Amino acid sequence: MDAAALSAILNTPKSIFNLATTDLFLAGNTTSPACSSSVVLSTQAGWIANIQVLEAGSAPGFIYNCATFAAANNANKLMKIQNEVGLQQGFLNFNTGMTLIPGAGQLVNVTYSLQQQQART
């Protein structure tokens, strides 16, 4: 068997592992506790897979691309959280951190992955 064929055989499991790890990263591998008040969920970069609204509340909430409450402003707003019970897809990257500010009366959790949790090849 030549070196190229042997290399291809040896790299196949690594490729399968990398695909599975990427799928897990995109699906989210961490789910926050149910939150009814503001919280900094991450101070690192990552990916928001989805948001589950458990209690609708009377106003929508927001997720911000920042690692402090002081930086949670319109310039750092990533997405609006619907104020109706159900699953909302995120599919968004955040690069400086993730701050969750639920709307009045909302109870939500966020499923996400952090950048260093993704396998490097």
Q: What is the pTM of this model?
A: 0.77
pLDDT at 29: 87
Domains of the chain from N-terminus onward: 3-117 (2.60.120)
Tokens of 86: 């159900």
- Residue stretches of the chain with pLDDT short of 70: 1-26, 117-121
